[in-house]
Amino acid sequence: MNLNKFFVLRLCIALVTAGVLVGCNKSRDYKNSSRATGWKVNAKEGGLQYNAKAKEQETGPGLVFIEGGTFTMGKVQDDPMHDWNNSPNQQHVQSFYMDETEVTNLMYLEYLDWLKRVFPPDDPNFRKIYEGALPDTLVWRNRLGYNEVMTNNYLRHPAYADYPVVGVSWVQAVEFSNWRTDRVNELILEEEGFVTRNARYEVGSGSTFNTQTYLNAPTMTYGGNDSLTRGGKRSQSVAKRSQDSTNLYVQRKDGLLLPSYRLPTEAEWEYAALGLVGLRNYNVYRGRKKYPWDGQYTRSGNRRSRGDQLANFKQGDGDYGGIAGWSDDGADITAEVKSYEANDYGLYDMAGNVAEWVADVYRPIVDDEFNDFNYYRGNVYTKNAIGSDGKVKIVNADSIVYDTLSNGKVVARNLPGEILQVPVDENETYLRTNFSDSDNRDYRDGDKRSTRYYQSFGDDDEDGVNKRKMYNSPEHQVGSADDGSMNLQYDKSTKRTSLISNEVRVYKGGSWRDRDYWLDPAQRRFFPQDMATDYIGFRCAMSRVGSKAKDKKKPRH
């Protein structure tokens, strides 16, 4: 009898529980609804269309994920010159991506091939585009050395295909990064079925793809050729079931297109080169390393590779690789990428091989008192140019902006199909506390207020420019004569006291021409942004959007 009562009690409890669950099911399910309004998301009838499947940012071609954190940025070796150049300071860097290797000759040749195909250099309208992108192969020449084999072969010969590209100025590296962004996103749209298959091979000078144009004015992409922009199977499927034109194109909220490829900031490069991931496991963020690898020596201490050089650098006077044989470092000039072990982040050649351009304008001291988060000097804020019709202005063959460099070389700073950029004005800066000007390269160092000669009146020239500026590097004048030849005028002033200007950029890391002193990731040097050498290359970076880490933290024990 008692047993029957027990079963009856359990049955009653089960029925009550079922009733509660049924009652709960009658309440509104917010899983696929807005937490703000309760409206259904991605409803066929309309409303907000949102990519609920989007999770983490995809890793772009050639990139490695670098989880951000705090580190000690600055010099860690002796300072024999006592120049206080980048004294140690604490910085925090957000997570980002960086190229696994330096940009190689083959990667750059793909860029040149695309330019030559889309903007034929035999067309007078486009001749300067291709010529301005060509690396300077004459950087290999030496007055007292025979290097003609590199001058003639290093860029294009397949034997050097996987060697880092050199002879590229900072300006050219930036333009390569912009081009790379568009080609990667163009392929993503094609693979996802939004644009016509193989559209990237059919474009001409007036119908190129640009990421920002697609996001801001998609109907103007591919020169306004809607059959390419909406020619993919997926795009056609969306058009059949949607009356909302805003959903016919990929938007930022879809999370499909990648952020821009760019040059890494100095802080990012140094953080990535140090590879502090091992130390960070125990939160030893003040730990310092002399090289991108562990230890105080440039040769391996591992049993299998003991004595092998860990980087490609100049070992002494007349010694660019060692005595031929077992102890040689395997290279006299640059080496093929991945010839040496990667650091703890999986990055190759963060010391040696070639030094690398970074994004920053050079100043002797990093202003950590003003900012210690994602530090970067070089911000020039722009906005999309808007025409009288209220639409963005798209660059065409007649409105390409060319930049004549100090050495007389002409470089295209935008290409047809891109949105024309103009400096921000008072509409964006009025009563702002975080920025007040478009050009911030001089901020707190180099502008009129930073010089010790500053005064609010007098001592200005006719244009209102302070005569006694902190940085008064030579200003060579370059112009074009009536016959089309270049008119080059050297600055012969004897009053110049500095080589620093807003057109001088930082480069990091040692190279095949440098002694091991420069392998320290904290070392920093500068070079004019429009000039090139045989020992400076570059690699690209990309910002990380979303979470700081890819994997959630797990219990250590």
247 in any annotated domain: no
Q: What is the pTM for the complete model shown?
A: 0.88
> Are 492 and 354 members of one domain?
no
End-to-end alpha carbon distance in the chain: 52
**Residue 28: per-residue pLDDT:** 53
Structural domain boundaries enclosing 473: 442-501
Q: What's the angle, vertex CA 61, arms to CA 59 and CA 63, rounded to 5?
A: 60
List C-alpha distances in Å: 296 to 112, 289, 303, 519, 520.
Answer: 41, 8, 17, 11, 11
**Residue 286: per-residue pLDDT:** 46
User: What does the radius of gyration of the chain's CA atoms come to, in whole angstroms?
Assistant: 28
Give the number of domains in the chain.
2
> Are 179 and 318 members of one domain?
yes
pLDDT band at 285 (very low <50, low <70, confident <90, very high): very low
**Residue 446: per-residue pLDDT:** 84
Is the pLDDT confidence value at 438 over 90? Answer: yes
Residue with tokens 């590879």: 275
> Are 125 and 146 members of one domain?
yes
409 in any annotated domain: no
> Are 522 and 492 members of one domain?
no
> Are 537 and 464 members of one domain?
no
pLDDT tens figures, 460-506: 555 445 566 788 888 888 877 666 677 888 888 888 888 999 999 99
- Comparing CA positions, the residue from 397, 367, 379, 388 lying closest to residue 436 is 379
239 in any annotated domain: no
As a whole number, the mean pLDDT across the chain is 85
Q: What's the angle, vertex CA 167, arms to CA 161 and CA 168, rounded to 5?
A: 95
Give the integer Cα–Cα distance in Å for 192 and 258: 13
**Residue 283: per-residue pLDDT:** 44
Give the integer Cα–Cα distance in Å for 103 and 475: 31
Evaluate whether 129 touches 412 at the Cβ level (below 8 Å).
yes
pLDDT tens figures, 359-410: 999 999 899 999 999 999 999 999 999 999 999 999 998 899 998 888 888 8
Is the pLDDT confidence value at 289 over 80? Answer: no
Tokens encoding 437: 């000007």
Give the integer Cα–Cα distance in Å for 103 and 261: 12
Is the pLDDT confidence value at 194 over 50? Answer: yes
> Are 531 and 470 members of one domain?
no
**Residue 441: per-residue pLDDT:** 94
Burial of 222 by CB count in 10 Å (0-12 exposed, 13-18 middle, 19+ buried)?
Answer: buried
> Are 348 and 447 members of one domain?
no
Give the integer Cα–Cα distance in Å for 76 and 2: 81
**Residue 315: per-residue pLDDT:** 81
Tokens encoding 259: 């952020």
> Are 473 and 514 members of one domain?
no
pLDDT tens figures, 510-550: 999 998 888 889 999 999 999 999 999 999 999 999 988 88
Stronger pLDDT, 427 or 13, i.e. the higher one: 427
Give the integer Cα–Cα distance in Å for 534 and 548: 37
Q: Which whole number is the average pLDDT over 419-435?
A: 94
**Residue 330: per-residue pLDDT:** 79
386 in any annotated domain: no
495 in any annotated domain: yes
DSSP 369: T
> Are 348 and 493 members of one domain?
no
Evaluate whether 142 touches 232 at the Cβ level (below 8 Å).
no
> Are 187 and 112 members of one domain?
yes
Give the integer Cα–Cα distance in Å for 501 and 452: 17
365 in any annotated domain: yes
DSSP 175: H
554 in any annotated domain: no
**Residue 484: per-residue pLDDT:** 64
CATH of the domain at 168: 3.90.1580.10
Is the pLDDT confidence value at 208 over 60? Answer: yes
pLDDT tens figures, 345-359: 999 999 999 999 999
> Are 61 and 113 members of one domain?
yes
Kindly state the percentage of the chain with pLDDT values over 70: 81
**Residue 9: per-residue pLDDT:** 63
- For residue 115, the Cα-to-chain-centroid distance in whole angstroms is 20
pLDDT tens figures, 240-254: 555 555 567 888 988
pLDDT tens figures, 86-110: 788 999 999 999 999 999 999 999 9
> Are 514 and 462 members of one domain?
no
Which of 482, 501, 520 finishes a domain? 501
Paired residues of 357 in beta bridges = 507
**Residue 244: per-residue pLDDT:** 53
392 in any annotated domain: no
Q: What is the DSSP string of 34-87?
A: -TTT-PBTTBTTBS----TT--SPPPPTTEEEE--EEEEES--S--TT---TT-
Stronger pLDDT, 67 or 449, i.e. the higher one: 67
